[in-house]
Structure 1
Amino acid sequence: MEKWVVAAKRADFNSIGQEFEIDPVIARLIRNRDVTGQDNIRMYLKGSIKDIPSPWLMKDMKKAVKIIKEKVSEKAKIRIIGDYDIDGVMSTYVLLRGLIRIGADVDTYIPDRVADGYGIHEHLINRAEEDKVDTILTCDNGIAAVSEIQLAKEKGMTVIVTDHHEIPYKETENGREIILPPADAILNPKQQDCPYPGKNLCGAVVAFKLISALYEEFCVPGEELEDFYELAAIATVGDVMDLQGENRILVKEGLKRLKNTGNLGLRELIRVNGLEDSKITAYHVGFVLGPCINASGRLDTAARSLALLNAENQGEAAKLAGDLTALNQSRKSLTEEGKEAAIHQVENTDLKNDRVLVIYLPDCHESIAGIIAGRIKEKYHKPTFVLTKGENSAKGSGRSIEAYSMYEELVRCADLLIQFGGHPMAAGLSIEEKNIEKFRRRLNQNCSLTEEDLQPKIVIDVPMPISYITKNLIRQIALLEPFGKGNTKPLFAQKGLKVLDAVVVGRNRNVAKVRLMDPQGTVMDGVYFGEADEFVRFIKDRSSVSVTYYPEINQFRGREDIQIVIQNYC
């Protein structure tokens, strides 16, 4: 059962509203997102690209730029090694375009999920040596590749790491011992001594910071950086970064440009998904466009997504966009099958008693393990790992809840794992099949999650009667966009609503339309998406209902009417 709680953060909402000419409700929403102080509120409401930090603040940036400048002048061969997810593809493309612009001799390699695995491996170093590569530049990987980068150094190569994952460490008697690869330069804002203020950047934004510094060094006009904003936005949303500070500004600016993008591949991907006449939001990136880009790295090769971004004519772009969209449809079917198998395993074994779920689906495609883990985590509100059978070992991905740092818990199980890496909220690993049960037991023995931690919470921003909603308030709420992780869509609530009418609509019977009246006599339309029959049965049996909701303006046949989108009910 969900626990409904009201955010109780305090401030003088009336004075904030007067100073910034916003409704006090909007001031409260901003405070609930931990934005305090005049400068920060002003940045939140009106921040622009000129407000993002200088790339030169990042540790090793001067070193990395100096190395690349020398390599460009020497015509040395540079190879970008990326990753097969949306952030890795965008990172690779950002570096490729930027380095070509400054005259570098550069190529790319995105590892194959099955054949190569994540990140740099020894055979990729050997291949680079055979291809007479002088410098390896990683993106969205590399921070944990100690032995592989050591091998590259022994072979005489220069290595620059650009990454955003957690800095590896091991626990010793004296505390944590940081483990860094022996690269010539490491760009990762999560390094403890890195002065860059934004620590929660995705890999593509770290790559963008490097290109920003290089453009400055090579006197490339600053306006040319604008083409990278939409790429940074796609990667930030797709890799589920917090939409705060610099990230929020880049996503806001990138989404503005995405509708009229000059990139043929992205334009065709938007068209084939029926979004050419829509306002493209973070939702569309996260749940429509992004999964298509991710699908190639899951079921085929991420080189297809990179080819889409590099497409030079509309015909090529249209074919690739169609292929990726079709792959995503296949991925959806496989995901649904895998999710049902995972639920069956939890419900019919003693897994259901675990606080941390470790689900082994040997026949599941390894590429969708992370998606399935996310779905299971949402269903049970428990940290979840989904493992699949790989060629030489089991592989898998995990998705976590706020109270559980997944990466830290994997460190405590490092002796059972072949390889691992990630963030507090998500991780990837490989493990010998014989160790899976030991891994499951260890995680649960170490787990300190309480029953309260495992109870899903619905955090209400403002208990607000529907009579307070106006079109102007809804337009002011739009100032807080883009919404996503770290800047969630506002949630309002009202109790004691009387149901005047309720009907299920839609071919799949997954939409309910209702007419509600509050105690003050205000009547308003509402819509609910989900198990519509169950919802209508519930509300029709009661004299009144409590709901959480989000207000919106419904445009239909030239009319604009206020309605609420119901999120939860009780």
Structure 2
Amino acid sequence: PDEDAVRALMEALSLPDIVCRLLLIRGYVTADEAKQFLRPKLDKLHEPLAFLSMDKAVERLARAVRDKEMVFIHGDYDVDGICSTTILTRVIRLLGGVAMPFIPRRIEDGYDLGDAGVNAAMAAGAKVVVTCDCGTGAVAPVARLCRAGIDVIVTDHHLPSGELPDCLAVLNPKRPGCGYPDKDLAAVAVVWKLSLALARALGANENPVWAMLDLVALATVADVAPLRGENRVFVRYGLRMLKETRNIGMRALLRASGLDGRQLTAGRIGFILAPRLNAAGRMGHAIRGVELLLTSDEHEANVIARELEELNGRRQEIDHLTLERARERVLTMDLDEMFSIVLADDTWHPGVIGIVASRLVEEFGRPTVLIALSGEQGKGSGRSIPKFNLHGALSEAREHLLRFGGHRAAAGVTVAREKVADFAARFNQIAHEHLTAEDLIPEIRVDLEVGIEGLDGRIESLFRHFEPFGIGNPAPVLLARNVVIKRPPRPVGPDGLKIALDTGTGSLEALGWGLASRVAELQEGARVDVAFRLERDDYRGESYLQARIADVRLSPALTA
């Protein structure tokens, strides 16, 4: 970055050189921009009524609450859908209304509002149906509800892949014509905005709605929404509230997952807490997740939390087996020719293929779609690489699909068994049209080159002001060159190494997963260039500074 800009920020903010350089690299040029990023404020959130059709949705729900009409709340079976359903159900009940939560079964009913949801809404005597994290593409089911005299409000954040449902309101920041400024929201944020606007319309106390930001944070992280803009505000404040949550079910889940009393970061939420709640929808019935988050009974909460812990254990076992078999098949492919991976199998569980697709993308660097076949159809989950728009590619291959939906980086498909091969061929053709061979090589984006001797606990604590980290705001990656390994490396776990880096006045512990096979080159006295994230690790009550290795190589001066 420009040296004059660095000095200007250092003077205005009284922050060290390294922090100001990082701010400039991330695009925060002025002192005001930097302050707003480092200290996100709730009062900077946009007004809920900025959503297209929000006024109609609020007016109808307010009438339903006042008249005690049944509001049927139809969610999706992932964490975003579970938390969205929970928030709206709880808010309508707190306001004195009648709400019934419903989530379809993944295998029996399939994704989105469909016959199962329509039939259940009619059987419940619903006057209003609100979809949460689904509905944008459910044109026919919505039409069926409307013909039955039921008002429908869609709340969603998925990219429209065709015409929108013709109903009372479609609240989706990505829909054409919606002027809402922030397009990155998860569905849970859309529902939370609707809930806040509803409370205001009824002149009710807003505090219970604000108190649900813990659920907004959890779902935003779990759905891998970009952690910038409003999402940054939601997650920053929501993580604080999650640590002290009053939600009995959430407390039980934190205890069961071993996070109670520990520092809650976006990483721990995404990799430890969210998978347990997701396990309900993947391996059982997602409504159990809603029941957990709605309960006021401590015993019921503990029972469900233990149930989810067991389901998550089963999910991990099935993940492992599915990944092994999928990898075996990928390794038989000509990866010089295949710019994408499409695999289908009758034995795969539809609840785990999305996770396994993510692992294949990490290992092989190609957009991947895995399909669980059953009968004459298959349900698939896709994951992508940064330079490939998955939703756009599926749109180009739509003639081979029964349906699809999702985002740039993740999507779901339904495909006829007989069309799988045609879809795979067309998908690979599209990948060749949009990608080069270089695009398939994973890159590590380094933010700053630093001297290893200048890193200390103060720098790490200042970096924490950049949290929460995730898509859209990754943890800073630092590069230190020509660093001496001070002691022999020590194996950690099945494939990790711990390395001591010489700082001149001591050492910095560095941990690298997947480095066990390189132990011969990373010996005491070797000079290395290391890309890493600076973090603080808590182990057995002790806290110490640690470098989490992203990549390491022998310094060119040594290898030349």
Q: TM-score, normalised by structure 1?
A: 0.93
User: Which has the higher mean CA deviation after the structures are superposed, 112-121 or 464-473?
Assistant: 464-473
* Cα drift, residue 135 of structure 1: 1.1
Deviations along 1:283-311, one digit per CA (max 9) or x if unpaired, are 11101110000001001100111111122
**Equivalents in 2 of 1:10, 1:224: separation in Å?**
47
Q: Kindly tell me: are residues 558 and 97 of structure 1, through their superposed partners in 2, closer, same or farther at Cα, counting changes over 3 Å?
A: closer
* Cα drift, residue 556 of structure 1: 7.2
Whether contact under 8 Å (1:346, 1:352) holds in the other structure is no
Whether contact under 8 Å (2:366, 2:385) holds in the other structure is yes
| Residue identity matched to 2:106 | R
Whether contact under 8 Å (2:74, 2:103) holds in the other structure is yes
Aligned to 1:475: 461
**Equivalents in 2 of 1:433, 1:509: separation in Å?**
39
* Cα drift, residue 511 of structure 1: 4.0
**Equivalents in 1 of 2:539, 2:101: separation in Å?**
48
Q: Does 1:296 align with 2:280?
A: yes
More RCO (CA 8 Å, sep 6+):
1
Aligned to 1:189: 173
**Equivalents in 2 of 1:304, 1:261: separation in Å?**
19
Of 203, 212, 224, the residue aligned with 2:196 is 212
Q: Does 1:406 align with 2:402?
A: no
Aligned to 1:278: 262
Whether contact under 8 Å (1:83, 1:140) holds in the other structure is yes
Aligned to 1:176: none
Aligned to 1:173: none
Whether contact under 8 Å (1:504, 1:512) holds in the other structure is yes
| Residue identity matched to 1:46 | R
**Equivalents in 1 of 2:261, 2:128: separation in Å?**
44
* Cα drift, residue 540 of structure 1: 1.8
Whether contact under 8 Å (1:90, 1:232) holds in the other structure is yes
Aligned to 1:539: 522
Q: Does 1:253 align with 2:237?
A: yes
Pairing 1:143-162 to 2, within 5 Å after superposition: 143-162=136-155
* Cα drift, residue 557 of structure 1: 8.5
| Residue identity matched to 2:511 | Y
Aligned to 2:330: 346
Aligned to 1:84: 77
SS in 2 for 1:114: helix
Q: Does 1:96 align with 2:89?
A: yes
| Residue identity matched to 2:155 | T
**Equivalents in 1 of 2:544, 2:300: separation in Å?**
43
Q: Kindly tell me: are residues 64 and 538 of structure 1, through their superposed partners in 2, closer, same or farther at Cα, counting changes over 3 Å?
A: same
SS in 2 for 1:147: helix
Whether contact under 8 Å (1:122, 1:151) holds in the other structure is no
**Equivalents in 1 of 2:395, 2:265: separation in Å?**
37
Deviations along 1:108-160, one digit per CA (max 9) or x if unpaired, are 11010011101111343233223321111101000001111111111111100
Aligned to 1:512: 497
Q: Kindly tell me: are residues 275 and 557 of structure 1, through their superposed partners in 2, closer, same or farther at Cα, counting changes over 3 Å?
A: closer
Q: TM-score, normalised by structure 2?
A: 0.94
| Residue identity matched to 1:437 | A
Aligned to 1:526: 509
| Residue identity matched to 1:310 | L
* Cα drift, residue 513 of structure 1: 2.7
Deviations along 1:524-546, one digit per CA (max 9) or x if unpaired, are 22222423532422212983111
Q: Does 1:314 align with 2:298?
A: yes
**Equivalents in 2 of 1:284, 1:196: separation in Å?**
30
Q: Does 1:364 align with 2:357?
A: no
Whether contact under 8 Å (1:60, 1:185) holds in the other structure is yes
* Cα drift, residue 451 of structure 1: 1.4
Q: Kindly tell me: are residues 541 and 529 of structure 1, through their superposed partners in 2, closer, same or farther at Cα, counting changes over 3 Å?
A: closer
Q: Kindly tell me: are residues 50 and 304 of structure 1, through their superposed partners in 2, closer, same or farther at Cα, counting changes over 3 Å?
A: same
Deviations along 1:441-488, one digit per CA (max 9) or x if unpaired, are 111222220112111110101010111112221111111111111111
**Equivalents in 1 of 2:175, 2:277: separation in Å?**
29
SS in 2 for 1:366: coil
Whether contact under 8 Å (2:70, 2:98) holds in the other structure is yes
**Equivalents in 2 of 1:99, 1:557: separation in Å?**
44
* Cα drift, residue 407 of structure 1: 0.7
| Residue identity matched to 1:142 | G
* Cα drift, residue 522 of structure 1: 4.5
| Residue identity matched to 2:449 | P
SS in 2 for 1:193: coil
Aligned to 1:502: 488
**Equivalents in 2 of 1:122, 1:534: separation in Å?**
52
**Equivalents in 1 of 2:489, 2:322: separation in Å?**
33
**Equivalents in 1 of 2:400, 2:151: separation in Å?**
33
Q: Does 1:465 align with 2:451?
A: yes
Whether contact under 8 Å (1:381, 1:455) holds in the other structure is yes
Q: Does 1:434 align with 2:418?
A: yes
User: Which has the higher mean CA deviation after the structures are superposed, 287-296 or 340-349?
Assistant: 340-349
Deviations along 1:411-466, one digit per CA (max 9) or x if unpaired, are 11111111110001000001011111100111122222011211111010101011
User: Which has the higher mean CA deviation after the structures are superposed, 479-488 or 34-43?
Assistant: 34-43
**Equivalents in 1 of 2:107, 2:307: separation in Å?**
20
Q: Does 1:416 align with 2:400?
A: yes
SS in 1 for 2:352: helix
**Equivalents in 1 of 2:525, 2:420: separation in Å?**
48
| Residue identity matched to 1:220 | A
Structure 1, unaligned runs of 5 or more: 1-7, 170-178
* Cα drift, residue 241 of structure 1: 0.3
Whether contact under 8 Å (1:293, 1:305) holds in the other structure is yes
**Equivalents in 1 of 2:356, 2:396: separation in Å?**
24
Aligned to 2:438: 452
Aligned to 1:23: 16
**How many pairs does the alignment contain?**
551
Whether contact under 8 Å (1:511, 1:527) holds in the other structure is no
Whether contact under 8 Å (2:379, 2:414) holds in the other structure is yes
Q: Kindly tell me: are residues 222 and 73 of structure 1, through their superposed partners in 2, closer, same or farther at Cα, counting changes over 3 Å?
A: closer
**Equivalents in 1 of 2:536, 2:401: separation in Å?**
51
Whether contact under 8 Å (1:524, 1:563) holds in the other structure is no
Aligned to 1:174: none
Pairing 1:530-569 to 2, within 5 Å after superposition: 530-540=513-523, 543-553=526-536, 562-569=545-552
Aligned to 2:556: none
Aligned to 1:136: 129
* Cα drift, residue 391 of structure 1: 4.3
Deviations along 1:352-380, one digit per CA (max 9) or x if unpaired, are 63101101132110111110100000101
| Residue identity matched to 1:443 | F
User: Which has the higher mean CA deviation after the structures are superposed, 545-554 or 157-166?
Assistant: 545-554
Q: Does 1:493 align with 2:493?
A: no
Aligned to 2:60: 67
**Equivalents in 2 of 1:285, 1:555: separation in Å?**
16
* Cα drift, residue 273 of structure 1: 1.7
Q: Kindly tell me: are residues 423 and 9 of structure 1, through their superposed partners in 2, closer, same or farther at Cα, counting changes over 3 Å?
A: farther
Whether contact under 8 Å (2:529, 2:552) holds in the other structure is yes
Q: Kindly tell me: are residues 127 and 314 of structure 1, through their superposed partners in 2, closer, same or farther at Cα, counting changes over 3 Å?
A: closer
SS in 1 for 2:325: helix
Deviations along 1:170-221, one digit per CA (max 9) or x if unpaired, are xxxxxxxxx1110111111112321211111001110000001011111222
User: Which has the higher mean CA deviation after the structures are superposed, 209-218 or 497-506?
Assistant: 497-506
Deviations along 1:309-349, one digit per CA (max 9) or x if unpaired, are 12222211111111101111111111111111111001113
User: Which has the higher mean CA deviation after the structures are superposed, 182-191 or 547-556?
Assistant: 547-556
**Equivalents in 2 of 1:555, 1:308: separation in Å?**
29
